[in-house]
Amino acid sequence: MTKTSNAMWGGRFAAGPDAIMEAINASIGFDKRLAAQDIAGSRAHAAMLAATGIVSDSDAEAMREGLLTVLSEIEEGRFEFSTALEDIHMNVEARLKEVIGEPAGRLHTGRSRNDQVATDFKLWVRDQLDAAETGLVALIEALLVQAEAGADWVMPGFTHLQTAQPVTWGHHMMAYVEMFGRDLSRVRDARARMNECPLGAAALAGTSFPIDREMTAEALGFDRPAANSLDAVSDRDFALEFLSAASICAMHLSRFAEELVIWSSAQFRFVALSDRFSTGSSIMPQKKNPDAAELIRAKVGRIFGANVALMTVMKGLPLAYSKDMQEDKEQVFDAADNLMLALAAMEGMVRDMAPQREALEGAAGAGFSTATDLADWLVRVLGMPFREAHHVTGALVAKAEARGCDLPELSLAEMQEVHGEITKAVYDVLGVHNSVASRVSYGGTAPAQVRAQIARWKEVLG
């Protein structure tokens, strides 16, 4: 095997690793995505080194300007990444030396790659949390538009995917607003908790140089420096918390996607999905496949898998840094990409989808969906114990089923055969619109309650 020299390691490792070691050790193939964060961290570090008198102002200025040159080369696709230099940090530092010469060697004063990579990765994950917040707000806003348009449209509510009770379209949309609202809360909580700066923790024990960690933390938008240097370089909780929040959010997206797949089928026809988020069949010309929804439904597997993978990597590591932690990034990169794509696709689908009001209303009264309203009427009007009312209602459902009709189609005489005290007033509660209008408890499906929740969420989002 051929040997490659890695001058960045210096004396003892001047011979360099062989090709296999180089391949397993290098992370530049994926961590080059951290280029912008790495350069931002290095520019903040250089400014701090000058402010504390550790390096001269002229050297710091050369470093900061040279780093901008390197960043522009990367952004313009003119930068040549080297696997021999292992990672983004060494690639940037090596190029900086070519650009500005000897002052580049002073950039790494008072820091280690351990605190450098932890800082870069935190900055990157923080950006993803911000992107997830933006995506979730946009999705919630799209759901609010749908909820407001159909606040009083009736549809079947299901348990076990069986018709249960009538609800409103707006109420169903608002259920997802609540779900994604909790996701939004988790994203915001995670961002607040992770916003401590590792830079200055050095390899694991801090540094003897008189650095100003408050300065670099503030420059990079962190709330404070991380309080323990051992923890700062070995912490990946922030990535795990992002993956955890992403997994729950992806699960919610998957549940909604599953409903859209069902609702858009020929058997349901509850919604029509736009052509922008559907495809045709290569052989069946009548087909309109909800491919975007199906792909969103699948994303949870990749995102949840990333969460498990990183948890497994971290579970057995002693303090502080171990090379295992190089395996922390690819899963997070993949999960973030897929979460952002799924959020954007779901927002587009929600904005474009057309609920089919007649089909929704037609299905709302099927399957004896007002049986609970009948039982409640027996309790409320006749003073019947609920268990007895449940039994009487069951007998009426059986009678309607035998006749092949729904409850409102039973005559009063037929109802009185089951219980003689039933009056014609019972028909006031058997219509689906009457049913949903009666559910006025806080959080219920009554249109007035739905509109109140929409107003609350509009205020929350500002």
Segment 113-159, tens digit of pLDDT? 999 999 999 999 999 999 999 999 999 999 999 999 999 999 999 98
Has residue 1 got a pLDDT over 60? no
Rounded Cα distance between 244 and 250, Å, is 10
Q: How confident is the model at residue 398 (pLDDT cuts 50, 70, 90)?
A: very high
Annotated catalytic residue within 274, 281, 322, 411: 281
| pLDDT range class, residue 213, cuts 50, 70, 90 | very high
SS3 of residue 397 by DSSP: helix
Cα 230 from Cα 222, distance rounded (Å) = 18
Q: Is the predicted pLDDT of residue 282 greater than 80, yes or no?
A: no
Judge whether 181 and 457 are in contact, CB under 8 Å. Answer: yes
Active-site residue, from 160, 208, 282, 441: 160
Q: How far is CA 102 from CA 63, 280, 320, in A?
A: 10, 61, 32
- Say if residue 173's pLDDT is above 70: yes
The continuous run of DSSP H or E covering 146 comes out as: helix 113-149
**Higher per-residue confidence, 1 vs 95:** 95
Higher pLDDT, 400 or 8: 400
Residue 6's pLDDT is: 52
Q: Are 168 and 447 in contact (CB under 8 A)?
A: yes
Task: Specify whether 112 is catalytic.
Answer: no
CA dist 384 and 393 (Å) reads 12
Average pLDDT of the residues of the chain: 91
The helix or strand, by DSSP H or E, that contains position 156, with its residue range, turns out to be: strand 154-159
The whole-number average pLDDT for the span 428-447 is: 90
Per-residue pLDDT band for 176 (boundaries 50, 70, 90) equals: very high
Residue 72: active-site member? no
C-alpha closest to that of 170 among 145, 193, 191, 188: 145
pLDDT tens by residue, 95-113: 999 999 999 999 999 999 9
Q: Confidence band (pLDDT; 50, 70, 90) for 434?
A: confident
Q: What is the pTM of this model?
A: 0.88
What are the tens digits of pLDDT across the range 370-394? 788 889 889 999 999 999 999 999 9
DSSP state string for 195-262 = -EE-TT-TTTT--SS---HHHHHHHTT-SEE-S-HHHHHH--HHHHHHHHHHHHHHHHHHHHHHHHHH
- pLDDT band at residue 290 under the 50/70/90 scheme: confident
Residue 51 has pLDDT above 90, yes or no: yes
Query: Of 130, 133, 148, whose CA–CA distance to 456 is shortest?
Result: 148
